[in-house]
Chain A
Amino acid sequence: GQQVMQIPQYQHVQEGEDFTTYCNSSTTLSNIQWYKQRPGGHPVFLIQLVKSGEVKKQKRLTFQFGEAKKNSSLHITATQTTDVGTYFCAGRGGGADGLTFGKGTHLIIQP
C-alpha cells in the first residue's frame, strides 16, 4: 500500500532559525496536505497542494510539491515559539480512501 515517509522525526531549533520538514511518498499522489498539531491538540489543516511543482506561501511558511508529485516540503523562516508543534504531511493517492499521514516532524524551539 501507499507509504508516506516524513523526516526528520524531531527537530530542535533556536528561535529565529529556519526549519524544514520533508515528505516522500512511495507512489504518485493526486494531492498532498499539511497539518499542524499543537501539543495536546488535534491536527489542523494548513494547506493543500495539487499541481506538479506547486509552491504556496503562508506568511513565514513555504510549501512545495515536487515535479513528480511524490515529495513535498514545508519550510518555516525565522521560527517563533508559536510554531511549536508537530507538522504532518498527508498524501492522497488515486483512490477514494482516506489520506495517508506521515509520522510527523516534532518542532521544538529553544528561546
Chain B
Amino acid sequence: NAGVTQTPKFRILKIGQSMTLQCTQDMNHNYMYWYRQDPGMGLKLIYYSVGAGITDKGEVPNGYNVSRSTTEDFPLRLELAAPSQTSVYFCASSSMGTSTDTQYFGPGTRLTVL
C-alpha cells in the first residue's frame, strides 16, 4: 500500500492563479482531511470528509473548496491564490469507528504564492 499520496510536492503560484492539490489514499479509509501548516506552527483543519459525497468545513475554509466523489480521492481547490495561502498543505485519512482512529498523513505540498 502506498498510503496517502499528494501531488505536487512543490508549487509556486502567482496571485490570482488557481490550482488543485491532489490527495489519494489506498487504505479504504472513510475519513479524509486537509490541513495547512504555516512555518513553525501547528496544523489547522481546512476541510474534512466523512465519506464519498460528504464534505464539511474545518477551522479555516475560506479561499478553498473540496470535493469527494470517490472514497480514494479528496482534491483541494484554490480558486484565487493569495500570499496568505503560502503554506504546507497536508492531506490525511483515517478509519473512524475503529478503536484507534489514527490519522495517516501524506508527504505534503509546499505552496508559495507570490
Which residues in A have some Cβ–Cβ distance to B below 8 Å?
A: 1, 6, 33, 35, 41-45, 48, 50, 88, 90, 92, 96-104, 106
B33 close to A98 (CB less than 8 A): yes
13 A-B pairs besides A43-B43, A45-B102, A100-B45 with CB distance below 8 A are A35-B103, A43-B103, A45-B103, A48-B100, A88-B42, A92-B101, A96-B50, A98-B33, A98-B48, A98-B58, A98-B103, A101-B43, A104-B41
23 contacts between A and B (CB under 8 A): A1-B59, A41-B107, A42-B105, A42-B106, A43-B90, A43-B103, A48-B100, A48-B101, A48-B102, A88-B42, A90-B103, A96-B50, A97-B45, A97-B48, A97-B58, A98-B31, A98-B33, A98-B45, A98-B103, A99-B103, A100-B45, A101-B45, A103-B41
**Whole-angstrom CA separation of A98 from B58 in the bound complex:** 8
Q: B90 — which chain A residues lie within 8 A by C-beta?
A: 42-43
Q: CB within 8 Å of A: which residues of B?
A: 31, 33, 35, 40-45, 48, 50, 56, 58-59, 90, 92, 96, 99-108
Nearest chain B residue, comparing its CB with the CB of A92: B101
